[in-house]
Amino acid sequence: MQALVERDISLSANSTTDVCNMFRISRIQELLKEVPRDAFDRLAREHGANRYSKNFCAWDHLVVMVYAQLSGAQSLREIEAGFNAQRTHHYHLGTHELRRATLADANARRKPEVFADTARTLMSQVGRKVRSSCQDLLYLLDSTQVSLKGRGFDEWAGATRVRSGQGLKLHMLFEAETQAPSWYSITAMNVNDRNEGVRVPIERGATYVFDKGYCDFNWWHEIDKRGAYFVTRFKRNVALRIQEDRAVPPEAAASVLKDQLVRFAHKNPGGGRRNRYEGVLRRVEVAREGKAPLVFATNDLESPASEIARRYKDRWQVELFFKWIKQHLNIKRFCGRSENAVRIQVLTALISYLLLTLYRQAHGVTKSLWDLLAQLRSTLFQRPSAEAAQYHRRRQQLHEFNSRQSGLFA
């Protein structure tokens, strides 16, 4: 009789544990914890994001679009089927069952500002951690095209078409240490890189690396005046006066051809413009195998010439970032063809990347971001803590069973 009572107590305890485990958070909930619901709702009120879609609020929209990005779902039908298959998780995510027509309407009508501000908030969270642990900040600036062509796109993207195509342009300031964006803007395709570059916030002591598309001597002067550094390339037709030829260390002589201090030869480069950069610049010429040498411009007068070349080479990291989000997140095949829908999808791709980065930092994950995404993609709605507790309980039961079995044959 006592054995039966003990068994009933054990079953009751296990049942209670199972009920408790049901309410432990899933992986997608853990990712979305980095977006506090109250702060997001405040942003939604400020932008009036729920004005016309009360049954599918901005939070519902964010959760569904982040799910679509992380799961790899590419069409409205696929998003609807996959998301609704996890009905038991909707309550804990603060959302409910999805209809694809509702999502299509929200993508077309809801203004993207609430998602834009959410992306900026997450960028500041990533940046806050790197500023506290890193003294030398290296920022990489570049842009990429999001090509859009076909029925529905041509009506609005055709007006800003350029020779290379039509669509939108994503401008990105990428922090090299965290491998995460720290500033961005989305513009029409015909917006010049230089015009967006001048909007980048400048931090004292940081180094900014960009290519010749951002050539603006007055902007370079502004960076220097704010106590920051830049590394870029001179255009071939720039007129310079050589102030000093510096000696190249023997260990760098094979790659560094020249290291010079220079000034601009003209204060008025033409077109009614005035060049306000009157200080000394550094001109570093680096050899390339089988190609013309690269000529770098920088206001960093102290670092070794080889270090200047390495910083410019690091600019390739932002190119790899663009390649990564285009390959592994969804900013090629769009769920809507309006400009609003495209912008929302690009923004939720950025938000998803930042959530992955913050998850990786919080859990000390050493594997690559692609490996992490691949793992999460197949376990988004699993509850790790519940699974761990269940695994531990089964191991304990197996151990007890084996210990009793051994007593039978003693």
Q: Which residue has better confidence, 17 or 257?
A: 257
Residue 392 has pLDDT above 80, yes or no: no
Q: How far is CA 187 from CA 14, 45, 108, 112, 340, in A?
A: 56, 25, 18, 13, 12
Q: What is the pLDDT of residues 354-377, one digit of tens each?
A: 999 999 988 888 999 999 999 999
> Is 23 in the same domain as 93?
yes
Beta strands in 97-251 (DSSP E): 138-147, 167-175, 180-188, 207-209, 229-233, 240-245
In a domain, 81, yes or no: yes
- Asked if residue 284 is part of any domain, the answer here is yes
The last residue of one of the domains, among 268, 303, 338, is 303
Same domain for 354 and 274? no
Backbone angles phi, psi at 375, to 5 degrees: -70, -45
Mean pLDDT of 244-256: 93
In this structure, the answer to whether residues 91 and 49 fall within a common structural domain is yes
Give the model's confidence band at 25: pLDDT under 50 very low, under 70 low, under 90 confident, else very high.
confident
Q: Does residue 176 lie within any of the structural domains?
A: no
Residue type, 277: Y
| DSSP-derived secondary structure letter, 270 | B
Q: How many domains does the chain have?
A: 2
Query: Do both 105 and 59 map to the same domain?
Result: yes
Same domain, 42 and 86: yes
Same domain, 292 and 342: no
Give the full edge-to-edge strand order of the sheet including 240-245.
Answer: 180-188, 167-175, 138-147, 207-209, 229-233, 291-298, 281-288, 256-264, 240-245
pLDDT, residue 400, reads 65
Q: How confident is the model at residue 16 (pLDDT cuts 50, 70, 90)?
A: very low
Q: Please give the pLDDT value at position 399.
A: 63
Whether residues 280 and 364 fall in one domain:
no
Query: Percent helix, strand, coil in the chain (nearest 5)?
Result: 50, 15, 30
Please say whether the beta carbons of 345 and 335 come within 8 A: yes
Query: pLDDT-based confidence at 339, cuts 50/70/90?
Result: very high
Tell me the per-residue pLDDT of 256-285, one tens digit each, with 9 for 90 and over: 999 999 999 887 765 567 889 999 999 999
Using DSSP's 3-state secondary structure scheme, residue 54 falls into: coil
Mean pLDDT of the chain: 88
pLDDT of res. 15: 45
**Three-state SS at 388:** helix
- The Cα–Cα gap between 15 and 277 comes to 74
Give me the pLDDT at residue 53, please: 77
Give the residue-averaged pLDDT of 313-326.
Answer: 96
**The predicted structure's pLDDT at residue 128:** 74
So what's the pLDDT on residue 127?
77
The answer to the question of residue 208 being in a domain is: no
In this structure, are 297 and 355 located in the same domain? no
- Residue 299 pLDDT exceeds 60: yes
Tokens of 80: 């609807």
pLDDT, position 152: 93
Q: What percent of the chain has pLDDT over 90?
A: 75
Question: In sequence order, which residues have a C-beta less than 8 Å from that of residue 222 and are 6 or more positions away?
Answer: 198, 202
State whether 234 and 294 are in the same domain: yes
Co-location of 29 and 106 in the same domain: yes
Look at residue 30 in the predicted model and tell me its pLDDT: 93
In a domain, 396, yes or no: no
pLDDT at 270: 58
Establish if 206 belongs to a structural domain.
no
Q: pLDDT tens, 94-110?
A: 999 999 999 999 999 99
388 vs 380, which has greater pLDDT?
A: 380
> How confident is the model over 98-141, as pLDDT tens digits?
999 999 999 999 999 999 999 999 999 987 765 655 567 999 99
Express each pLDDT in 26-84 by its tens digit.
999 999 999 999 999 999 999 999 987 778 999 999 999 999 999 999 999 999 999 99
pLDDT for the residue numbered 268 = 73
Least confident segment among 83-92, 221-230, 287-296, 399-408: 399-408
The answer to whether residue 3 scores a pLDDT higher than 60 is no
69 and 26 in a single domain? The answer is yes
Residue span of the structural domain in which 252 resides: 230-303
Q: What's 252's DSSP letter?
A: G
Residue type, 70: L
Q: Is 181 a domain residue?
A: no
| Residue 248 falls inside a structural domain | yes
